[in-house]
Amino acid sequence: MIGRLNHVAIAVPDLDAAAAQYRDTLGAEVGPPQPEPDHGVTVVFITLPNTKIELLHPLGADSPINGFLEKNPSGGIHHICYEVDDILAARDALKASGARVLGSGEPKIGAHGKPVLFLHPKDFTGTLVELEQA
């Protein structure tokens, strides 16, 4: 069902400092900040030869990243994103197997302009999983 790894998302308390660290210290290709109001985050994508890193920073008081950063003030890995060929078929198969889809269960448009869903971390060894239609 899952395809290639699309990205690993890291919540950060200081987006500019984190982007600079990847760019200046690690020599990575760092994209511009991209506000995603529907998801309550600002993201910066770091392009690697085989995948991406997504830096997440809260956008607004209701951001889901605020709670994560309260528990992890230095930041940390927030979720992992896998590609799927058909997000609705993947959702239905996962739900049939007992996995919980967060939110309404309907895909939202993610930072790459493609439909995404999130799966409950308690169903995936403590890892928040994002699925993105390839």
End-to-end CA distance of the chain: 12
Q: 124 burial class (0-12, 13-18, 19+ CB within 10 angstroms)?
A: middle
In angstroms, the CA 68 to CA 11 distance is 8
- Per the CB < 8 A criterion, the answer to whether 44 and 54 are in contact is yes
Distances (CA, A) of 15 to 34, 36, 109: 11, 14, 22
Of residues 54, 83, 130, 132, which has the active-site annotation? 130
Local structure of 102: helix, strand or coil: coil
Clarify whether 130 is annotated catalytic.
Answer: yes
Q: Return phi, psi of residue 107, to 5°.
A: -60, 145
Catalytic sites, residue numbers: 130
